Amino acid sequence: MSAGEIDLLPGERVLWAGEPVQRPLYVAADGVIAPAGLVVAAAALWFLLTQQPAGAGMLAGVVLLVAGVYGAIGRSAVRYLALGRTTYAVTDSRIIARSGLFRQKELASELATLSPPVLKRGGTGTGTISFGDTGSVTLIGVGEPKRVRDLLTKAIDEAKSRQAPPEADSSAA
């Protein structure tokens, strides 16, 4: 994401822009979701083949089969492909991720509202940077992750200090 592609707020400046340099096929959440999807898909397939339902039973079985296959492998494949079209930017007030497989969607989080960034190192000098806040942007597969995390830590601290009310001058009493 270049600075020219970002809709900046008045007075906002770009501190860093990048994209995933590594796209993980599986993430930690897949350790639960993928096996559960396999169980659901297997149960739905067993139901469809042994019971040979009709009408609503058939529809329910097919829906569960599709949901199970998506949970087992589809979710990871969609994320992997979408990360190929993902870009990130850190400004002096926000962190922005633009991603999407077919249509680009933008997710932004105000730096002043974020918890300190947490770095989970990946292979080959990459990492994932997340925040304890639900709904906030997560940077997946970032190159030079320690440098980006340090930049984010400083930017968050500066954004929070700009939002803090000025301390009362006790000497003017």
> What's the pLDDT tens digit per position in 102-161?
888 888 999 999 999 999 998 788 999 999 877 788 999 999 999 999 999 999 999 999
**Is it the case that residue 170 has pLDDT exceeding 70?**
no
Confidence of residue 172 (pLDDT cuts 50, 70, 90): low
Q: Is the domain of 67 the same as that of 144?
A: no
Q: Is the domain of 13 the same as that of 95?
A: yes
On whether residue 171 sits in a domain, the answer given is no
Domain span at residue 38 reads 30-81
Question: How far is Cα 74 from Cα 72, in angstroms, rounded to an integer?
Answer: 6
CATH label of the domain that carries residue 19: 2.30.29.30
Query: Which pLDDT does position 3 carry in this prediction?
Result: 44
Q: Is the domain of 74 the same as that of 91?
A: no
**Is it the case that residue 42 has pLDDT exceeding 80?**
yes
Query: Which pLDDT does position 136 carry in this prediction?
Result: 82
Is the pTM above the cut of 0.95?
no
